[in-house]
């Protein structure tokens, strides 16, 4: 195995591959999977956009609103104390989930997008001067491009982009060459949402950190599939979105090393992030409260906690094995569709398959397979530079989660034959 391959292994190694995942039991946990779309069973293959929610998450949110709703951190009455305890206990669970050293390294944000913006504005902006550089990769989501463009433009700094090859694999040597004394941060995606590529994050982080360059990892697509260990990865920041992790929308996590979070100025000002305020001077609260101005998305945090508990009760190595099976089965079956070309063929991939059908635009594909109850994403997947690189205006993308089955792959393939039929 080459270094690249070794380092590309998922954030955690499957412990030992035991019995297969009991998918039928898992499906029963997700009420929406019982839905019919136009009389046909829903085949939900747009998990990279957002994942479905297990009953445990839906119930936890309901329970919070029905039984525990109160603002947190503010009152002495028991209801508020209970809500505060719930909220803070999720922080501790998220810390464990990511193997962070301390709960105060977990900042609740709206999602990956806000996490990246927070780091761009509070951490990078103050240290960025004219001629400095921010390094990203060719396969970033727009949310890991635009915030950097904004701060670079403002500070006269330069955004550099590490290239990839035609399979959608990052060129590690090129990446390394772009690490210089001018590089003020590296921000890179763990798992690409449009190509499925799993980057060798641990190796990339160590290359940057060896030169004293801090690293942010966009983990939006990694956390739903693999166990993430931020200390093993060695990154300074890690961002994720609750809604892709079977939790609610509007909530996400920024992990940051305490030492860095402590020296960063606040991102937003307001209530809850202060120790004392007078018109002359405000003293900020310690981390993480310093970064959580205003009433947070309490129900979202509680729902996220339930999602993490749900995942923790499952065997993540079984999930990884199941998804790897879906990926290889789908890759094989899709090759039966005439004129179908897969975009993103990295050696190490998550269960995400982007493809184009010769002579048929992705949106026509999306509309026709929807008639068969199959939900896939079509478009540029917020990665326009990736589309440009592969010379396609858009792709269709099937992205899988733990509750998907081989039967659903078959339904997708049948629907694609239907597309061929319509277009004659």
Ligand X SMILES: Cc1ncc(COP(=O)(O)O)c(C=O)c1O
Stretch that binds other proteins, among 127-135, 138-146, 307-315, 363-371 (CB under 8 A): 363-371
- Using CA atoms, how far apart are residues 61 and 397, in angstroms rounded to an integer? 30
303 alpha carbon, distance to own chain's centre:
17
Among 47, 52, 68, 113, binds ligand X (CB under 6 A): 113
Among 53, 348, 377, 380, binds other proteins (CB under 8 A): 380
- Using CA atoms, how far apart are residues 119 and 102, in angstroms rounded to an integer? 19
* Active-site amino acid positions: 382
Among 29, 132, 169, 218, binds ligand X (CB under 6 A): 218
Among 52, 68, 117, 143, binds ligand X (CB under 6 A): 143
Per the structure block, which two tokens stand in for 317? Answer: 């190595």
Per the structure block, which two tokens stand in for 320? Answer: 């990884």
- Using CA atoms, how far apart are residues 1 and 388, in angstroms rounded to an integer? 31
Q: Which residue has the tokens 């998918």?
A: 23
Q: How far is the CB of 392 from other proteins (least distance, A)?
A: 8
Cβ proximity of 369 and 46 under 8 Å: no
Helix residue spans in 258-297 (DSSP H) = 258-263
Out of ligand X, other proteins, none, which partner does residue 424 contact, by CB within 5 to 8 A per kind?
other proteins
- Sequence-distant (≥ 6) Cβ neighbours of residue 212 within 8 angstroms: none
Per the structure block, which two tokens stand in for 375? Answer: 């939900």
Is residue 395 close enough to count as binding ligand X by CB under 6 A?
Answer: no
Stretch that binds ligand X, among 106-114, 155-163, 230-238, 257-265 (CB under 6 A): 106-114
- Sequence-distant (≥ 6) Cβ neighbours of residue 153 within 8 angstroms: none
Among 95, 220, 340, 416, binds ligand X (CB under 6 A): 220
Is residue 149 close enough to count as binding other proteins by CB under 8 A?
Answer: no
- Using CA atoms, how far apart are residues 317 and 21, in angstroms rounded to an integer? 9
- What would you measure as the largest C-alpha separation in the chain, in angstroms? 73
Stretch that binds other proteins, among 74-82, 155-163, 297-305, 359-367 (CB under 8 A): 359-367
Window 36-65: residues binding other proteins (CB under 8 A): 38-39
Is residue 397 close enough to count as binding ligand X by CB under 6 A?
Answer: no
Q: Which residue has the tokens 């890759």?
A: 331
Is residue 241 close enough to count as binding ligand X by CB under 6 A?
Answer: yes
Binding site for ligand X (CB under 6 A): 48, 111-113, 141, 143-144, 189, 193, 218, 220-221, 241, 382
Binding site for other proteins (CB under 8 A): 38-39, 360-364, 367-368, 371, 379-380, 384, 387, 393-394, 422-424
């Amino acid at each position: 195995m080459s270094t690249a391959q070794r380092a590309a292994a998922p954030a955690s190694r499957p412990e030992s591959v035991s019995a297969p995942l009991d998918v039928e039991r898992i499906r029963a946990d997700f009420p929406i999977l019982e839905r019919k779309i136009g009389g046909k069973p829903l085949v939900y293959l747009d998990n990279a956009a957002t994942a479905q929610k297990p009953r445990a998450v839906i119930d936890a949110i309901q329970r919070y609103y029905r039984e525990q709703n109160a603002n947190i951190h503010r009152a002495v009455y028991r209801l508020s104390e209970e809500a505060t305890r719930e909220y803070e206990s999720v922080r501790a669970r998220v810390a464990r989930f990511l193997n962070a050293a301390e709960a105060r390294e977990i900042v609740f944000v709206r999602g990956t997008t806000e996490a990246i913006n927070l780091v761009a504005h509070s951490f990078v902006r103050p240290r960025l001067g004219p001629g400095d550089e921010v390094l990203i990769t060719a396969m970033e989501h727009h949310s890991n491009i635009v915030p950097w463009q904004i701060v670079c433009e403002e500070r006269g700094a330069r955004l550099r982009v590490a290239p990839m090859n035609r399979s959608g694999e990052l060129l590690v040597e090129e990446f390394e060459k772009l690490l210089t004394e001018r590089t003020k941060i590296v921000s890179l995606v763990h798992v690409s949402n449009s190509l499925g590529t799993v980057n060798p994050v641990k190796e990339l982080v160590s290359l940057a950190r060896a030169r004293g360059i801090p690293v942010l990892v966009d983990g939006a697509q990694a956390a739903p599939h693999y166990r993430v260990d931020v200390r093993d990865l060695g990154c300074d920041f890690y961002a994720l979105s609750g809604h892709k992790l079977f939790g609610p929308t509007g909530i996400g996590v920024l992990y940051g090393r305490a030492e860095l979070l402590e020296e960063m100025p606040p991102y937003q000002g307001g209530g809850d992030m202060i120790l004392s305020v007078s018109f002359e001077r405000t003293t900020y609260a310690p981390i993480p409260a310093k970064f959580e101005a205003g009433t947070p998305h309490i129900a979202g945090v509680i729902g996220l906690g339930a999602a993490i508990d749900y995942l923790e009760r499952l065997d993540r190595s079984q999930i990884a094995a199941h998804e790897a099976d879906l990926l290889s089965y789908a890759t094989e079956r899709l090759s039966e569709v005439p004129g179908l070309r897969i975009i993103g063929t990295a050696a190490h991939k998550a269960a995400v398959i982007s493809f184009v059908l010769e002579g048929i635009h992705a949106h026509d594909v999306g509309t026709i397979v929807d008639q068969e109850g199959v939900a896939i994403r079509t478009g540029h997947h917020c990665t326009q530079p990736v589309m440009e690189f592969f010379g396609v205006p858009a792709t269709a993308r099937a992205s899988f989660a733990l509750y998907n089955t081989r039967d659903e792959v078959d339904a997708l393939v049948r629907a694609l034959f239907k597309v061929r039929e319509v277009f004659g």
